[in-house]
Amino acid sequence: MFEQGLVVPAGGLQAWAEPNPAQPPVARLEAGVDIWVADRLGEWAHVRCSNGWSGWVDGRLLPTAPPPPHAPPVPAAQATPSPVRATARAAWTATHAVPAGGLDAWERPDGAVAPLTHLAAGVQLSVVESQPNGWTHVVGANGWRGWVDGRRLVGAASGPPRAPSSTRPVDAPFGITMPSWWPPEVGVLPAAGAAFALLGSFLPWLTVGPASASAWDISVGFLITGGSVAGGLKVGFILLAVLGVLLPAVTKRALPDAVLPTLGLIAIGAAVLTLIRGLAGITVAGFHVTYDPGFGLFLTLAGGGILAIDRIRAWMAR
Lowest mean pLDDT of 16-30, 58-72, 228-242, name the range: 58-72
pTM of the model: 0.46
How sure is the predictor about 142, in pLDDT bands with cuts at 50, 70 and 90?
Answer: confident
Tell which CATH architecture fits domain 92-155. Roll (2.30)
Contact between residue 213 and residue 205 where contact means Cβ atoms under 8 Å apart: yes
pLDDT of residue 86: 36
Q: 25 versus 311: which is more confidently predicted? A: 25
Please determine, for residue 132, whether its predicted confidence score (pLDDT) is greater than 50. yes
Please determine, for residue 13, whether its predicted confidence score (pLDDT) is greater than 50. yes
pLDDT of residue 91: 66
Domain ranges in the chain are 6-85, 92-155, 167-317
Q: Which residues partner with 103 through β-bridges? A: 119
Average pLDDT of the residues of the chain: 77
Q: Mean pLDDT over residues 204-224, rounded?
A: 87
Tell which CATH architecture fits domain 6-85. Roll (2.30)
Residue range 165-197, pLDDT digits in tens: 434 444 455 555 666 677 777 878 888 889 999
Residue range 65-87, pLDDT digits in tens: 544 444 444 444 434 344 434 33
Q: 314 versus 162: which is more confidently predicted? A: 314
Buried b (16+ CB within 10 A) or exposed e, 97-123: bbeeebbbbbeebeeeeeebbebeeeb
